[in-house]
Amino acid sequence: MSLHYLVDGFNLLYALPDMPPGPWERKRQALVEWLRRRRPHGNNRLTIVFDSRQGFGDRQQMADCEVIYTAGQTADDWISEQVRRVPNPRIVVVVTNDRGLQTLIRGTGARIVSCDDFVRWARKDQPRRPPSSGGEDDRSQITDEFKKKWL
């Protein structure tokens, strides 16, 4: 099963160990290049979404990923809408550290990966294993909850 990674672009930029200097356009291009070289998404489909409240909803194909500049809405809203539109949200992996977006996605069946984990996957020595639906944090909290209740 092929997955579709939806990346909160500015969120991932801030999670990089070394955010590139310069104007935002250069930073965005550096992020796309970093993703192309490191491939933390493996061979899966990749869409990077950037906020552009005054933009025109531009889409660009850069290397093997699609870059979306939202039009009149936040990247969080755009990503949330896309997850709810796909016939099978279980193939979607949302990459973000934004708790608000994570809350919007929970319960849809889509997977959630923190930007920090995604950056870690980019290291060659780290395994790439997308979390199960709902995020791994939820599973461990439920387990701890049951331990407290039943033990």
Q: Among the listed ranges 3-12, 52-61, 137-146, which one has the minimum average pLDDT value?
A: 137-146
Residue 140's pLDDT is 43
Q: What are phi and psi of 137, to 5 degrees?
A: -60, -40
Angle CA 3–25–122, to nearest 5: 40
Q: Is 144 exposed, middle or buried (0-12, 13-18, 19+ CB in 10 A)?
A: exposed
> Residue 122 belongs to a domain with what CATH number?
3.40.50
Place of tokens 């199960």: 132
In the structure, what pLDDT confidence band is assigned to residue 49 with cuts at 50, 70 and 90?
A: very high
What tens digit of pLDDT does each residue of 82-117 get? 999 999 999 999 999 999 999 999 989 999 999 999
Q: Is the pLDDT score of 146 beyond 50?
A: no
User: Which residue segment(s) compose the domain that 116 sits in?
Assistant: 4-150
Residue 150's pLDDT is 53
Q: How far apart are CA 121 and CA 39, in angstroms?
A: 8
| Domain total of the chain | 1
DSSP bridge pairs for 62: 65
Q: Is the pLDDT score of 3 beyond 50?
A: yes
Residue type, 145: E
Q: Is the pLDDT score of 28 beyond 90?
A: no
SS3 state at 112: strand
Place of tokens 């660009």: 60
